[in-house]
Amino acid sequence: MNRLSLRFYILLTLPLLMIVAAFLLDTPENMIKGLKAIVLHSDVLLVDYLAVGGIGATLINSALLTLANVYLLYRLKIEPTGPIIAAVLTIAGFAFMGKNIINVWPIYVGGYLYTRYKGTSFKSVILIMMFATTLAPLVTELLISPSLGKFGFIAGFLGGVIVGFIMPPLSAHMLRVHDGYNLYNIGFTGGLLGGVLMAVKRGLGIEPEKQFILSSEYDLELKILLSAFFLFLLFLGVYLNGRSLRGYRRIMKLNGRIVTDFVQLEGFEVSLINMGIMGLMGLAVVALAKSPVNGPVVAGLLTLVGFSAFGKHPLNSLPVILGIFLGEILIFKNIHPTVLAITALFGTTLAPIAGSFGALAGIAAGMLHMFVVLNVGYLHGGINLYNNGFSGGIVATILVPILRAFGKEA
């Protein structure tokens, strides 16, 4: 078995595990009914697919989306390196809240048309397209809009195509704004683009309906499923690494700033170890926040694990998490447990700040992120799923120049 095929097989582990779990926990009839409910429900933040369609349909939705993207990567002969692993697991996670088997594909079509226009290959933008599905809720909003009626499908398709077409040049520019210190660069881009789109909608007198739909009934099942996956990654990494943690300390010395691909720099085996450790650490963070494991929390955990192959490790993530919890304790105090949990998990988008400027800077970044993230959702009206990426981009853009002026950068 060569290195390329091994990585693909490991990426297939989670969706296959989800399919098995879906049939153990639910019936095919409920899955079909639940998938229909998921596809036709508004995805504007914050909507938990577990509450909308049930556990079977949500697991199947995530599994199908993940399998489709892994197959696409395989057909394009793209080796799963750090950013690819981050993208795949981010999609798997957000298929629990906002991305479904219908609303992501128009964005991919837009990316393909962009490559045809530029005379390049689709392979060159597939990573951007996978993350650009942060604006998938826009497709759904147009698709189910009562005012558009039978034209909603066409409007939704065209809206997604436009997003996919313009995202590559936009994201490249936005990376320069925060200089790689916000790992969720597409979230920053999507937030700005979503803000413009919502400004137009509001100008036309259309205000998005606020949503806060969460489940709590599948906490135990999801904890078992995710714990098994994280332990699998950890033990497999140790086994492939000669039954040792050799090389893991080198990952902990990297600052994580874009582009820091742990797979390319330190090896796939050591990256698996980091992913497993970070996943278990993420579960501990959720428990500390006193939140059940629900759709948004699964999205946060799988995104954390994915980016643990591309920038995040305990030493640069824990200071940011600490800053977020301190912000909640000292300032907000009454934040919903799930909101606190996902802010702590997604807030690690700012891990490169701690990695480059030290733990105190990371704590400051986490506290500032807590202030910002709770207030920026209004700008894009919830159609940007990576709200923490938008907030992280703002925080990094403001904080990094100040840190550079008064501190030493690693």
In a domain, 402, yes or no: yes
Q: Are residues 323 and 255 in the same domain?
A: yes
Q: Are residues 136 and 41 in the same domain?
A: yes
Q: Are residues 262 and 180 in the same domain?
A: no
In a domain, 338, yes or no: yes
- The Cα-based distances of 90 to 84, 102, 116, 118, 199 in angstroms read 10, 17, 27, 27, 27
Q: Are residues 247 and 175 in the same domain?
A: no
In a domain, 217, yes or no: no
3-class DSSP state of 258: coil
Domain hosting residue 315, numbered range: 228-406
**Domain end call among 188, 203, 218:** 203
Q: Are residues 287 and 328 in the same domain?
A: yes
| CA 157 – CA 155 distance, rounded (Å) | 5
Q: Are residues 11 and 54 in the same domain?
A: yes
Q: Could you tell me the mean pLDDT of each successive run of 10 residues in the chain, 410 residues long?
A: 75 97 97 98 95 98 98 94 98 98 98 97 97 96 88 93 97 92 96 90 76 96 98 98 95 95 96 98 98 98 98 98 94 88 98 97 97 92 95 97 86
Q: Are residues 107 and 198 in the same domain?
A: yes
Q: What is the pLDDT of residue 1?
A: 45
Q: Are residues 178 and 44 in the same domain?
A: yes
Structure tokens at 207: 């205000």
In a domain, 237, yes or no: yes
Q: Are residues 7 and 104 in the same domain?
A: yes
Q: Which residues contact 81 (CB under 8 A, 6 or more apart)?
A: 261, 263, 264, 309
Tell me the one-letter amino acid at 19.
I
In a domain, 210, yes or no: no
Q: Are residues 234 and 98 in the same domain?
A: no
Q: Are residues 110 and 199 in the same domain?
A: yes
| CA 89 – CA 12 distance, rounded (Å) | 11
In a domain, 259, yes or no: yes
In a domain, 221, yes or no: no
Q: What is the pLDDT of residue 213?
A: 96
Q: How many domains does the chain have?
A: 2
In a domain, 273, yes or no: yes
Q: Are residues 392 and 247 in the same domain?
A: yes
**Domain end call among 203, 218, 243:** 203
DSSP codes, 94-121: HTTTT--TTTTHHHHHHHHHHHHHHT--
| CA 278 – CA 305 distance, rounded (Å) | 6
**Domain end call among 169, 188, 203:** 203
